[in-house]
Each structure stands twice: as structure tokens, then as C-alpha cells.
A and B are shown apart, each in its own frame.
Chain A
Amino acid sequence: MQRRTLLATASAAIMALAAPAMAQDEPLKVGFIYVGPVGDGGWTYQHDLARQAVEEEFGDRVETTFIESVPEGADAERALTQLALAGNKLIFATSFGFMDPVMNVAAKFPDVKFEHATGYKTAENVATYDARFYEGRAVIGTIAGRMTESNKIGYIGSFPIPEVIQGINSSFIHARKVNPDVEMRVVWAYSWFDPAKEAEAASALLAEGVDVILQHTDSTAPLAKAQEAGAIGFGQASDMAAFKPSPRVASIIDEWSPYYIKRVGEVLDGTWESGSSWAGIGDGEVVIGEITDAVPAEVKAEAEALRDKIGSGEYHPFTGPLNKADGTEWLAEGEVASDQDLQSMNFFVEGIDAQIPQ
């Protein structure tokens, strides 16, 4: 009994603290928590660009704040609570590891809306969002398949999780489609960002005879190594324009602004609802950066055609017939992979001669 009273008092106190920010004519406060520094030039940098786009779009109707370099776990829960207490009515949490902290804090602040990137837990006031990066991977996979002369392309993976595995499969499928002799080499760096290690991973791939490198890690180190060896690569997360026109021949950009602007607008209109968004090229969330002149015009045209077909919804990168690496059938002729299948993907497709570490 006593404990319950205490609980009630405590939540009342929290409510009282949050109350002043409710006034109507004040700007909508939107908070962001980032797992890395805004200067990481990759994942967090792109989220912060989208935050700035929100400010630009809505002007003084919104007020944004962010907390950067928040470790996942206990510190994230505190940072989220402080954002909520500071009167933010919409909070974007931009890392998978913020999932449980978001759920905990959201339960305490039912009138604050939360948007969690790349997670799978939702609630009345918690929505999730992610981007179909595999759509972009199909496009750069096509370029990789056309550009390789050694018929070996390399892929630097961060962690063996579904999102990364989708990317590897998608790029391989489309590289093979334009070049039946292509082989894929996969190296796991076990880090999202470790320039020295990424450079070593790139060198290891180059020594294996790879001449095109795809990466799912955030630093430019693999591009620098590719340049040294006369190989090519692609920008990841951000455009990595400093390495144009070669070795960076194209890039796959995380573009969160359309989603952020849409969701902030919905909160302003009072039409925001929870849900799970998984948008791709068609919605402008996955953008293929400029394909440079280092790529022959016909390859560029082919890649752009594929991009447009995916964007219009005419073509799905995971369309059968496709087999798993162990030879069993995954998708029959014309069958399209379901989102559930993709979100828990833990196998390579047939043709990739590697195993996913367990």
C-alpha cells in the first residue's frame, strides 16, 4: 500500500515537472539522442543533418535539442528521461541499443512520443523506423558486379545481424545477376567504427584479389586503402564525397529527413500514431549518391534504371527464385520475401561461399 502511494507521488511529481511545456503557442520541442558524436561523419552525422532539416522546414514552430555520444544502457535511460523532463514532446532515439531504455522511459511519459531507430518494440507512444538499406545495396551491387575485373568483390561487415546480412545478400544477388562469375568475400570487423581495423579488413580483402570493396562500417579507411591499391569502393552512410571521383564511385546515403519532417509534422497536426516504418529508395530514405564518371555510362544507366525500378515498387530486390546457401529453396519463382523474413535474416543466399559466425 505504502509503496504504491509512493509510486503515485513520484509519477505525479514527474508529470508536474513536465507540465509547463504544454502551453499551446510554444514551439514543439523535439529531442534527439545519438550514440556517437555528431562529428562521426557517418551514422550520427546523418541523423543530425536530418535534425537540422527539421529545423529548416518548420522554423520557429519547433525547437530541437540533442545529446550526443550517449552510451547504450543506463546512461541512455537517464538521457531520455532528461529530454522528456525538459519538455520535449517527440524524441528520436537513433540506435538499436536504446530499445529497452526507450520502452522504460516511454512507459513513464505517456504524453511524450518516441521514435526508435532500427528496433522491433513498439507501444502506444513508441514507433520504430528503419530504412531498407538493402534496396541501395542492390544498386551498388550491380555497379560492383559490372566494375570488377578480378570477379571478386569484398564486403566489410560490421556485426552479423539481419540488417547487415540483408545488405550482403542483396549486393551479391545483383552483382551475380550482371556478372555470373562474380564471387563475394566477407570480412566481419565486429565494430561499426574502428578506422584502423577497417583499413586492415580492406587490405585483407585486397590481398585476396578483391578489386571492389563494399562496406557496412562508417569510416573512410576502406576507401583510402582501395585508392592505394587502385580498387574502388562506395560511400557508406554519408556521401564520403572527399574520395570522389574514384575510389568512391557511388554511395549509399542514409537520408532520414523525409521521415523526420513527416513525423514532426504529424505531431504538430495531432495526427501522429505509433507504427513501424520501413521506407526505402521510393520514399527518399535511402539515396544513391552521385555515380561518378569513373563508372562507364552504360553501367551508370543500368544502375539508375534499377534504382528507379526499386523506387517505383516495380521490382523487389529479393524476388525468387532464390536458394539459401545450404541449397534449400527460400523463394520460389516470382515470390517476394516477406518483411518478417528479412527482419530476422540469418543466412546467406546460394553462391556466397562463407558462413555467418554464430
Chain B
Amino acid sequence: MIDPLSVFLLLLSASTPILFAALGELVAERAGVLNLGVEGMMITGALAGFAAAYASGNPFLGFAAAALAGALISFLFVVLTQVFLANQVASGLALTLFGLGLAAMFGKPFEGVKAPPMPAGPLDINWIVWLGLAMVPAVWWFLNRSRPGLILRGVGENHDAAHALGYGVRATRMAAIAFGGAMAGVGGAFISIATVLQWTEGMTAGAGWIALAIVVFSRWTAPGVLAGAWLFGGVTVLQLRLQAAGVQVPVQLLSMAPYLATILVLVLISARQKFSRRGGGAAPGSLGLNFHALR
């Protein structure tokens, strides 16, 4: 009755914003940084991207601007946590609050106008959707096969050891946070430029928080992030699709399921690591901890 291909196509674009944001957060977390400011960075990107796309008439310029804006606002988090050594959880929450306010404040002139249309990409699928899918192997390759990726993981796993080996803990983390900001910005801009075509306050409506859950679900791997984005996006798409087909669904209970699944995954990987001492898939060792070199 329901064509699986059509559900998959819906899923592709529905999961794109959270896929971008989660890939960015993945890299930050692999570097040992827990940034709860994803929502704030996404909304900043949503506004900056929309504004640039509207002003220039070119949606792709909008996405570039969104990446830049996301990276710029993440710099506040960098200053707080990497320079002033403030607590990451509190700083991330403050970033979310600040970003939501800032975007709402600067967004006033862009209310009620419409973004330029996006040209369709190959197979009639949006170019940015393709870009998101391409980022998955790219991030995987970077983390697992490249030398900077290896250093980044080392910094996240044990920052003292990485420092002792002469790697720049702070510089690595700054770069990772900025990448996270840029990706969150693009994710947010997908909502304003490609999905809604307009700017409204608070339009990311909690997507940044879902991205945080996806990273945990992913067991800190890029393919896992894709699976997580599809699971979280998929549950919403599927329940809406079932409703549209006239099937009665328990919406609230269904929407809880991915979060429970995430907890289950987390427990399983932790348990495997604890009892069999075979590593892999657990949270980076220095996640959320600040680093200060004594020398």
C-alpha cells in the first residue's frame, strides 16, 4: 500500500538537516568536545544562509554563508571552553540560548520574504542532500584513514597523552568545533533555504537536540550517524506517512522509540567494552573534559 521508495525519498530530505549537524558534532566529540550548542549554531546558519541566499539570489551562496556563520558563532564556544576553560556543558547551553536570540534579533528584516528556488540535483534530489550523503564517507575517511584524523581521535581519547606526544590539543579542538559549527550551520540552512523557503524565528524547532542523540546512537562513527539520522528521521516520516494513508498510530509512543533505542545502543556498547575489554564504539575518553597544559 505504501511505496517504500517514496518513503525513502522523503526520508532522504527529512534527515538531511540532522545528518549535517550530527556529522559536525561527531567530529567535535571525537576530539573530546561535547558541544550542546548545536541548536544555537543551526538556527544561526538557518538565518545567515537564508539572508545570503535571499540577498544574492543564489541558494548555494546561502549554504556557504551558513557554514561560515555556524563556524563563526561556534568561536564563542571555542573562546569559552578552550581559552577560558569554562565547563563545556554550561557553555554549550549558553550558546544555544545566545544563538536563538541573536538569530531572532537579526532576522527581523527577513520575515515574510521568500528564498530563491533550488535547482534540482541528479535524480531530482537536492544537491545538498547529495552533499550530506557524500560527507559521510568523507568524514569516515578523515577520522579513520587520515593522519590529522588520527591525531584528532588521539586528542579526544586522551588529551594528556596527545599533548605529551607533542600534538596541539587546543588547536585540534578549535578546528573540530569550528567544523561542527559549519556543519550545523549548513544543516540549519537546509531547513530555511530548501525546506521552508522562508525565515521564521525558532524554525529549527529542536533539530539540534536530535543531532546530539544521533551522535550517541552512531557509536561515534560516520556510518552510524547516517544510520541514526535515517532512524530518527525515519520514525517521523513513517508515522506521518502512515497517518496520511489513514492508519491510526500512537504518535507519542512511537516518537519515544528512537531515544530508547539510543540508550539501548549505548548500554550495549558500554557493556561490551566493560565485560569483554574489546574496544570500539564507546564514547571518546576525554569527552567533555577541558584540557590545560601545565607546562
Please list the residues of chain A having a beta carbon within 8 angstroms of any beta carbon in chain B. Answer: 36-37, 39-41, 154, 185-191, 193-197, 199-201, 203-205, 207-208, 210, 219-221, 224-225, 227, 241-243, 353-355, 357
CB <8 Å contact, B14 and A195: no
CB <8 Å contact, B10 and A207: yes
Knowing A208-B244, A242-B114, the reply to whether A196 touches B251 (Cβ < 8 A) is no
Subset of 16 A-B contacts with CB under 8 Å: A36-B201, A40-B200, A194-B205, A195-B196, A195-B200, A196-B203, A196-B205, A196-B207, A199-B195, A203-B10, A207-B9, A219-B203, A221-B196, A224-B195, A243-B114, A357-B248
CB <8 Å contact, B200 and A41: yes
Q: Residue on B with the closest CB to A41?
A: B200
Please list the residues of chain B having a beta carbon within 8 angstroms of any beta carbon in chain A. Answer: 3, 6-7, 9-10, 13-14, 17, 104, 107-108, 111-114, 191, 195-198, 200-207, 236-237, 240-241, 243-246, 248, 251-252
Knowing A37-B104, A186-B243, A195-B200, the reply to whether A355 touches B248 (Cβ < 8 A) is yes
Knowing A41-B112, A221-B196, the reply to whether A191 touches B205 (Cβ < 8 A) is yes
Contacts of A189 in B (CB 8 A): 240
Compute how far the CA of A191 lies from the CA of B202 in the bound complex, rounded to whole angstroms: 13
Q: Residue on A with the closest CB to B5?
A: A207
CB <8 Å contact, A201 and B248: no
Compute how far the CA of A355 lies from the CA of B201 in the bound complex, rounded to whole angstroms: 33
Contacts of B13 in A (CB 8 A): 203
CB <8 Å contact, B108 and A204: no
Compute how far the CA of A83 lies from the CA of B17 in the bound complex, rounded to whole angstroms: 40
CB <8 Å contact, A41 and B244: no
Contacts of A220 in B (CB 8 A): 196-198
Q: How far is the CB of B237 from chain A (nearest CB, A)?
A: 6
Knowing A37-B202, A39-B107, A195-B200, the reply to whether A200 touches B245 (Cβ < 8 A) is no
Contacts of A210 in B (CB 8 A): 244
The 9 lowest CB-CB distance pairs between A and B, nearest first, are A242-B114, A204-B240, A207-B6, A208-B244, A204-B244, A224-B197, A204-B241, A221-B196, A195-B196
Contacts of A195 in B (CB 8 A): 191, 195-196, 200, 203, 205
CB <8 Å contact, A357 and B236: no
Contacts of A193 in B (CB 8 A): 200, 202, 205
Compute how far the CA of A205 lies from the CA of B244 in the bound complex, rounded to whole angstroms: 5
CB <8 Å contact, B6 and A197: no
CB <8 Å contact, B200 and A39: yes
Contacts of A221 in B (CB 8 A): 195-196
Q: How far is the CB of A34 from chain B (nearest CB, A)?
A: 12
Contact among A36, A41, A201, A355 with B111 in the assembled complex (CB-CB below 8 Å): A41
CB <8 Å contact, A187 and B243: yes
Compute how far the CA of A261 lies from the CA of B267 in the bound complex, rounded to whole angstroms: 60
Contacts of B6 in A (CB 8 A): 207
Compute how far the CA of A243 lies from the CA of B196 in the bound complex, rounded to whole angstroms: 11
CB <8 Å contact, B3 and A41: no
Contacts of A353 in B (CB 8 A): 246
Q: Residue on B with the closest CB to A189?
A: B240
Compute how far the CA of A204 lies from the CA of B241 in the bound complex, rounded to whole angstroms: 5
CB <8 Å contact, B113 and A242: yes
Contacts of B252 in A (CB 8 A): 190
Contact among B111, B195, B241 with A39 in the assembled complex (CB-CB below 8 Å): B111
Compute how far the CA of A355 lies from the CA of B196 in the bound complex, rounded to whole angstroms: 29
Compute how far the CA of A191 lies from the CA of B251 in the bound complex, rounded to whole angstroms: 12
11 further A-B contacts with Cβ under 8 Å, apart from A207-B3, A357-B248, are A36-B201, A187-B244, A195-B191, A195-B196, A196-B17, A200-B237, A210-B244, A219-B198, A219-B200, A220-B198, A224-B195
Contacts of B207 in A (CB 8 A): 196
Compute how far the CA of A154 lies from the CA of B246 in the bound complex, rounded to whole angstroms: 11
Q: Residue on A with the closest CB to B194?
A: A224
Contacts of A224 in B (CB 8 A): 195-198
